[in-house]
Amino acid sequence: MLDAATLAAALARACPDQPAWAAADAVEVVARTGSTNSDLLERARAGTLAPRALRIALEQDAGRGRLGRHWVAPPGAALALSIGLIWPGGPATLEGFTLACGLAVADAAAAQGAAARLKWPNDIVDGARRKLGGILVEAAPRGPEATAVVVGIGLNLAPHAALAEVTPPASDLATLAGRAVDARALVVALVAALEARIGRFAREGFGPSVAEFDALHAWQGRPVRLADAAGNELARGAVAGIAASGALRVTGADGRETEWKHGEISLRDGSDT
């Protein structure tokens, strides 16, 4: 069982360079909510989001992913949380931020013995490209030089019948690690990894992390189809890597490379859908 007081104490120890985690109300654990992201985003838009906030729900009934897709999070078998922070810059300075968060999730999974991989722009997968979880980053302006950012993370912790019915197929951290994953340890590892990655992003941008993302990208070098939210094809070719901006680089059959900031990729043979 996740406990707010225990988590707060652990985060204060794990993130000594971020004193905001020592605030009495920095960590919340609720039995049920619609969406942890919506909860914190409401505060962000109202201007009441704290410098750091962690909200965890044991059960969500309106969880969502990118493009408004419903997120399946079986109680006890999945982790649903959102982290709120105040970013010292406008939205334009957040290019590549979601991908940096993906690297943080991979770091935390590795600390639990699970070798997770990534799918541009915001999915966490296993080596067979089965979905382990996802990231949803949302933002609200906070004056001319700051942005309130909410990072939502959903991760499958253990096998569950509901996950077996998901298309494309899903996986979980326990299966990948070969043992049960301790939820409290995972939460602490996630927040600590995010602090480290966000700190590096603030200093250097995403560019110096591109090679790491490419190495973990399960679609790197593969022939893919890129489509928009309606399923219309935008590009077809091989994934050449990620740009410093976080855009996907695709090399077409004619050898010409294009960059895309939005879209959904799938293998051209359809084996990942």
Does the pTM of the predicted model rise above 0.85?
yes
Cis status, amide bond into 74, omega within 30 of 0: no
Our answer to whether residue 129 is catalytic in this structure is no
Tell me the C-alpha distance between 10 and 69, whole Å.
33
Number of folded domains that form the chain: 2
Same domain, 195 and 250: no
> Residue 27, Cα to own-chain centre: how many angstroms?
19
Helix (H) or strand (E) holding 42: helix 36-46
Query: For 168-218, how does the pLDDT look when each residue is reduced to its tens digit (9 = 90+)?
Result: 779 999 999 999 999 999 999 999 999 999 999 999 999 999 999 999 999
Residues 6+ apart with CB under 8 A from 237: 223, 224, 250, 251, 252, 253, 258
Reported as a single tens digit per residue, the pLDDT across 47-93 is 999 999 999 999 888 655 555 566 666 777 899 999 999 999 999 99
Q: Identify the active-site residue in 52, 55, 64, 66.
A: 66
Tell me which of 215, 231, 247 is where a domain ends.
215
Q: Which of 129, 131, 142, 225 is catalytic?
A: 131
Residues 182 and 250 in one domain: no
pLDDT, the chain, mean: 93
Task: Output the domain CATH number for residue 79.
Answer: 3.30.930.10
Contact present, 150 and 137 (Cβ < 8 Å)? yes
Interatomic CA distance for residues 27 and 13, integer angstroms: 14
Residue 240 lies in a domain: yes
Is residue 131 among the annotated active site residues? yes
The pair phi, psi for residue 39, each rounded to 5°, is -60, -50
Q: Which of 200, 222, 236, 268 is catalytic?
A: 268
Q: Residue 159 — very low, low, confident or very high, per pLDDT cuts 50/70/90?
A: confident
The residue segments making up the domain with residue 224 are 219-267
Quick check: is 47 in a domain? yes
Strand ordering across the sheet containing 27-30? 27-30, 52-57, 78-87, 147-156, 131-141, 123-125, 117-119
Residue 184 known to be catalytic: no
